[in-house]
Structure 1
Amino acid sequence: MTDAVGREPQYELFADDFADHAGDSFHNAWYDRPACLRLLGDVAGKAVLDAACGPGFYAEELVRRGATVNGCDQSARMVELARARVPGADFRVHDLAEPLRWLADDSMDLVLFALAVEYLDDRVAALREFRRVLRPSGALVLSRMHPTGDWLRHGGSYFADRVVEEVWSRGWRVRYWLSPLERTCEELHEAGFLIERLREPRPEPAAAELDRERYERLQREPTGFLAIRAIPDRRGG
Structure 2
Amino acid sequence: MKDKILNAYARLAKDYELHVDTSSGHNACYERPAMMKLLPGEMDGLTALDAGSAAGWYTEQMIRRGARVTAVDMSPEMAEACKRRFGDAAEVLVCDLSEPLPFGEETFDVIVSSLTLHYISSWGPVFREFRRVLKPGGRLIFSVNHPFMDFTHFDRPDYFKHEPLSETWNKKESGPVEVSFYRRPLHEIINTVTGYLTLEQLVEPQLEESMQEHPNFRDWFARWGEHLKKHPHFLIVQSRK
TM-score, structure 2 length as denominator? 0.89
- Give the CA deviation at 1:91: 0.4
Which SS does the other structure have where 1:97 is aligned? coil
Distance 1:131 1:122 in 2: 16
Q: After superposition, give the CA deviation of every residue in 1:11-38 in whole Å (9 maximum; x if it has no partner).
A: 1122102222211220112221221121
Correspondence 1:182 to 2:177: no
Residue of structure 2 equivalent to 1:227: 236
Residue matched to 2:226: 216
Name the amino acid aligned to 1:196: E
Q: Which residue of 1 is the match for residue 204 of structure 2? A: 200
CA distance in 2, matches of 1:100, 1:212: 39
Distance 1:29 1:86 in 2: 20
Residue 31 of structure 1 pairs with residue 30 of structure 2? yes
Percent identity between matched residues is 32
Amino acid in the other structure paired with 1:81: A
Which amino acid is the alignment partner of residue 164 of structure 2?
V
> Residue type matched to 1:217 in 2?
H
Opposite residue 123 of structure 1, the aligned amino acid is W
Please, which moves more after superposition, 143-152 or 16-25?
A: 16-25
Match of 1:136 in 2: 136
1:185 partner letter: I
Q: How many residues align?
A: 225
What is residue 235 of structure 1 aligned with on the other side?
Answer: none
1:65 deviates by: 1.1
For 1:33-58, what per-residue CA distance to the aligned partner results, in whole angstroms no more than 9, with x for missing partners?
22112112232321100011000111
Amino acid at match of 1:174: V
Change (3 A) 1:205 1:146: same
Contact 1:188 1:194 in 2 (8 A): yes
Q: Which residue of 2 aligns with 1:19?
A: 17
Aligned AA (1:229): Q
TM-score (norm 1): 0.90
Deviations 1:143-199 (A, max 9, x none): 001111111111211111110111024323111101111111111123x11110000
- What is the rounded CA distance, in whole Å, between the counterparts of 2:26 and 2:66 in structure 1? 25
Structure 1's unaligned 5+ residue stretches are 233-237
Residue 127 of structure 2 corresponds to residue 127 of structure 1 = yes
SS at match of 2:212: helix
- After TM superposition, the structure 1 = structure 2 runs for residues 1-237 of structure 1, keeping only pairs within 5 Å, are 5-7=1-3, 8-9=5-6, 10-24=8-22, 25-42=24-41, 43-87=43-87, 88-101=89-102, 103-155=103-155, 156-170=157-171, 171-190=176-195, 192-209=196-213, 210=217, 211-213=220-222, 214-222=224-232, 224-232=233-241
- Cα–Cα, structure 1 residues 202 and 172, in superposed 2: closer, same or farther, change >3 Å? farther
Q: Where in structure 2 are there 5+ consecutive unaligned residues?
A: none
SS at match of 1:196: strand
